[in-house]
Amino acid sequence: MALFEARHLHKRFGGHVVLEDISLSVEAGELRGIMGPNGAGKTTCFNVLTGRYKPDGGTVMFDGRDITGLSPREVARCGISRSFQIMNLFDEYSAIDNVVIALPAVRALGWSVLRDLARQSAAYDEAATILQRVGLAGKEGAASRSLSYGERRALEIGVSLAARPKLLFLDEPTAGLGTEGTARLADLVTTLKQQVTIVIIEHDMRFLFALADRVSVIHWGQVIAEDTPANLRANPWVQRSSLGSQTA
């Protein structure tokens, strides 16, 4: 059985249909890529899958459980985490505090009002390990707003990892990164792939095709093709669309 399955998702805003009929099925351990032109509904799809918007139709199943229409908080607690295309951090906090706040252990401590969070050294050690995994070792105490763009991108993923997700959604992780930053990110995602099921929305075909096990192409609010990167390159649909030309 698939770890994550969306069936016939439908979403409209007023009279504007953004998701016509999306069905996706992701196996545990898989790295799934999602591509498609601007405005195809990729980010809306993520927002529906992670609880930001409720779908107007269809169901979302995760780990054998129906999670359709749950709030972001409830989706997060199921073990689904996401990063954001537009940077979404706790700007006043240091890098390590950003991660600490997202740890399930700290979430569980939330209602103890007289304990000092700084004394929870286990939580800070765990957060430091996560920062190390995303390549931010040595930056623990740096204010998150003082980090470079690439470091903030990495921290964005670190915060998403803090929840120890079973499924990680990454929304255009390479956006705004240079060649070097993208290469470093590819290394990171390759490592993460061993540990967690990942779904990535991405414009950078080279990046996506090198990493993904399978890629779904979304266009006009539907999945128009889904296959391994190798087969997709041969797909006439993909070749004919502007997307294919980039990879040729």
Partner 1 sequence: MSHSPAPASLLPVPMVCTLVLLASAPLWLDAVGLYQYLAVEIVIWMIFALAHNLLLGQGGMPSFGHGAYFGVGAYAFGLCQQQLGAELLGGLAGALLAAAAAGAVVACFISHRRGIYYALLTIAFGQVMWFVAIKWHAVTGGEDGLLKIARPPLRVAGLEWSLASNEAFYAFVLGVFALVLVFLWRLVHSPWGRVLRAIKQNEMRAAFVGHNVWLYKWSAFVLSAALSGVAGGLFAMAQNSAYPNVMSLHNSGFVVMMVLIGGGLVSFWGPVIGAVVFILTRDLLGAYTDAWLLWYGLVFMAVVLFQPNGIAGMWQVWQAWRRRRAATAAAPKAAAREREA
User: Which parts of this chain interact with partner 1 (CB under 8 A)?
Assistant: 50, 52, 71-73, 76-77, 81-82, 84, 88-94, 96-97, 100-102, 104, 106-107, 109-121, 124-125, 127-128, 140-141, 159, 162-163
CB of 202 vs partner 1, minimal distance in Å = 20
CB of 169 vs partner 1, minimal distance in Å = 10
CB of 141 vs partner 1, minimal distance in Å = 7
CB of 79 vs partner 1, minimal distance in Å = 10
Cα distances from 156 to residues 131, 150, 164, 193, 238, in angstroms, run 10, 10, 14, 17, 31
Number of helical H runs and strand E runs in the chain: 11, 10
Query: Nearer to partner 1 by C-beta: 54 or 77?
Result: 77
Sign of CA dihedral 154, 29, 226, 51: negative
Query: Nearer to partner 1 by C-beta: 133 or 233?
Result: 133
- Show Cβ contacts of residue 69 under 8 Å, excluding neighbours closer than 6 positions: 51, 54, 55
Query: Nearer to partner 1 by C-beta: 106 or 185?
Result: 106
CB of 8 vs partner 1, minimal distance in Å = 25
| Phi, psi of 107, rounded to the nearest 5 degrees | -60, -40
Burial 203-236 (b: 16+ CB within 10 A, else e): bbbebbbebbebbbbbbebbbbbbeebeebbebe
CB of 51 vs partner 1, minimal distance in Å = 8
Closest CA to 134 of 99, 102, 88: 99
